[in-house]
Amino acid sequence: MECADDLFGGIVMCEERYRGEGYEEGFAEGKHIGETEGKQYGAMYGARAGSELGCYLGFASTWRLLLLPTTDEKQRKKIKILDSLIKMIQSFPTEDPTNEKLQDDLSRVRGKVKQVCSILNVQPDFSVTYEASGLSF
């Protein structure tokens, strides 16, 4: 029946309209929630990265300055390794968490730090526990 079809079509159109209105309202709200949530997680991850990398940078830079320039081959080796660690950290993509190589680069930096500590014969404790957030690095 023609009138029934039209009526049905009208209902469907109606449903779509309501769904659409709801969607738009929800989308705006969701965006706000997502941004806030995302920012919260991002801030924690960023804090960890900044803290860790900053620490390695400070450590390496300071030791680099404490090792006086010398002709001693062993000392020169140490300086060379420190320089390569500093360079590695300075070229780390700190601004971009979506960088695919992030995890690999971080592993390489951590490995280099361990090597540096080994050749300097020191065992610093770089771990930090943040009670509030329950994060420990």
Site for another protein in 16-55 (CB under 8 A): 18-55
State which amino acid sits at residue 3: C
Q: Is 15 in the site for another protein (CB under 8 A)?
A: yes
Q: Which of 71, 91, 98, 100 binds another protein (CB under 8 A)?
A: 98
Q: Footprint of another protein on residues 72-91 (CB under 8 A)?
A: 77, 84
* Closest to another protein by CB, 33 or 72: 33
The DSSP result for 63-127, as a single string, is HHHHS---S-HHHHHHHHHHHHHHHHHHTS-TT-TT-TTHHHHHHHHHHHHHHHHHHHT------
Q: What are phi and psi of 47, to 5 degrees?
A: -60, -45
Q: Is 114 in the site for another protein (CB under 8 A)?
A: yes
Q: Is 128 in the site for another protein (CB under 8 A)?
A: yes
